[in-house]
Structure 1
Amino acid sequence: MTTADAPTTVLDLAALVAEQTRAGFTPDRHGRPSRPVRRQRAHAARDARRHGLVAAGVATVALAAVTPAALQLPTDDTTLELSAQGTSLAPAPAAAAPAVAPVVVNASSADPATADLFKAGDRARRQAEQAEQAAAAERTRAAEAERARAEADRAARVTSCGADSSYGGVADSVQTVGNALECVFPGHDVLGVGSRGNASDHPDGYALDFMTTDGDAIADCVMSNADALGVSYAIWDQRINTGSGWKGMEDRGGATANHEDHVHISFERGADPDVSALRSCT
């Protein structure tokens, strides 16, 4: 058999086996290729290894030539550990995330258009504040005017209702208070000067009787403003009040004698009454 050049690749070896088979190199009784075939395969494997080592060397030289220019390995704070089991690279400490500073817009450093917007906003805010202040002042004036009108109405009800009775010739101060009380509590018969069988202020014109069976409001109003009206005392519903609260009286035998059908009001001599105090009773 003519020996050809040793095969250098697996494909070449396969082609050689096929050629030898065609040439009569058949497997032995154990199913293995004949000795010449096995020897030829061993030569082919050795040549393949030789060619592989040569190629690896060429690749190593080429890598060494380009590595200095293309690959810069770190030399500080980084450890490369190469071993047969694997390759490990100790990572560098993670850098802290940068703090995000708040964005502050300064109108003085902004562009003219932005500065104009800021100025317009400030102007609108000032105008709104001024408008609210003006509205608040107007509401205050309106409330004060309403209070003044209500006060005038109460004063008119006290002094301008048209009551002008003299009550039989009572003192002027008593007439003034009587007329004001009629404005506040209209619809009652009012008696003034009259004779009485016991000690009384009626004969001298310093007492008034408001005829009513529902005199609580009149009696309380008079005594609540006793100093302003010049009232010395009042009697109502078998009770008397001289300025220190209501106190019960003895039974005098009848509704009129017990003041159950009228409110009796006695006045100080020489008083100068201020009937405007009766506005609190309206």
Structure 2
Amino acid sequence: MTRQRSPRGREPRTVPFVLPEGTPRGAARHRSPGRAAVRHGAVAAGLTGSALALVGPAVMALPDAPDTSAAATTLELSAQGATLDDGASGSAGPAAAVTPVAGPGGGAVAADLIKATERDRAADAATARQAEADAAEARRADEARQAEEQRTASVSCGADGSYGGVADSVQAVGNAMECVFPGHDVLGVGSRGNASDHPDGYALDFMTTDGDAIADCVISNRGDLGVSYVIWNQRINTGSGWERMEDRGGTTANHKDHVHISFEHGGGTPDVSALRSCG
């Protein structure tokens, strides 16, 4: 039963409150489960505007209610796009940046990469040095080969004297020596008053008063030229050094105006290219 005040200030009068027929006693004092759930959902939804931030959609199912409309009622709360309040300005701030942190062994991996790079650089430098050394060695070998080819090349300048019919090997040496030491008269076959290689065609005389260079050249290459001995300026050299000779009484007899060269009899083909070392 409730009490109501009359509009004109009269004393309140009691009006009986009658429940509908068939309603259980005490039902007016309690809200239906559906209404309670809606109210609680509204409170939860209101909190989302404050400091609460939801990370995903939330759906609350209301408990069964006596009537069909209350049973079908659901409340969906979604916090999609919600952000935390910064607590200072009242506005939502951006998400904090995340700094990647190296995992276990990250420092060791980086050190290994640096060491591998250094090893590659050292290997490249060693390869470059080796290539440079190989190139230098190839240049030296080529220079030596060219020098040897030049030294051993045939000595020819058009000289073709037979020197009175000397042996072929002797003529070859005489012709080559004329190219190296031009401007001299060269004598070959001839009679002599004493033992000599001239009559047999195994001796040559280079007429000159300055025969040191010619004599030294022939002695230095005597093996290649097939020379047995050399006489110059009253001295003789058989390959063991110069030795003084007796005085024969004259300039020509004492070999002061020519260089005498005697050759091995029956010797092989001389290597006249050796004479290039005398040029």
TM-score computed with the length of structure 2 as normaliser: 0.56
What pairs with 1:35-114 in structure 2 (closer than 5 Å)?
Answer: 110-114=107-111
Deviates more, 1:219-228 or 1:261-270: 219-228
1:150 corresponds to which of 123, 147, 150: 147
Check if 1:275 corresponds to 2:272. Answer: yes
Residue-by-residue CA offset, 1:230-262 (whole Å, 9 max, x unaligned) = 212111001112333222222222222211111
Matching residue's letter, 1:257? A
- Structure 2: gaps of 5 or more residues: 1-104
Task: Tell whether the 8 Å contact from 2:187 to 2:206 is kept in structure 1 after alignment.
Answer: yes
Residues 168 and 110 of structure 1, relative CA distance in 2, 3 Å threshold: farther
Change (3 A) 1:185 1:197: same
TM-superposition CA deviations, 1:138-160 (whole Å, max 9, x none): 1001011111112222223x523
Identity %: 67
Change (3 A) 1:136 1:177: same
Partner SS state of residue 127, structure 2: helix
Distance 2:143 2:111 in 1: 48
**1:184 has 2:180 as partner:** yes
Relative to 1, partners in 2 of residues 1:162 and 1:124: Cα closer, same or farther, differing over 3 Å? Answer: farther
1:223-238 map, 5 Å: 223-238=219-234
Superposition RMSD in Å? 2.2
Q: Is the 8 A contact 2:185 2:206 kept in 1?
A: yes
Cα distance, 1:147–1:123 mapped onto 2, change above 3 Å: same
- Pairs aligned (count): 174
1:257 to 2:240 alignment: no
CA distance in structure 1 between the aligned counterparts of 2:157 and 2:257, rounded to whole angstroms: 25
- Sort the Cα spacing of 1:253 and 1:113 in 2 relative to 1 into closer, same or farther, 3 A: same
Query: Unpaired runs of 5+ in structure 1?
Result: 1-107
What is the identity, as a one-letter code, of the residue corresponding to 1:154? R
For residues 72-125 of structure 1, the C-alpha deviation after alignment (integer angstroms, 9 at most, x for no partner) is xxxxxxxxxxxxxxxxxxxxxxxxxxxxxxxxxxxx984444433322221111
Structure 1 residue 279: Cα displacement: 4.2
Distance (whole Å) between structure 2 residues aligned to residue 135 and residue 222 of structure 1: 41
Instruction: Give the letter aligned to residue 214 of structure 1.
Output: D
Amino acid at match of 2:241: G
User: Deviation of residue 195 (structure 1)?
Assistant: 2.6
What's the TM-score, normalizing by structure 1? 0.56
Contact 2:159 2:178 in 1 (8 A): yes
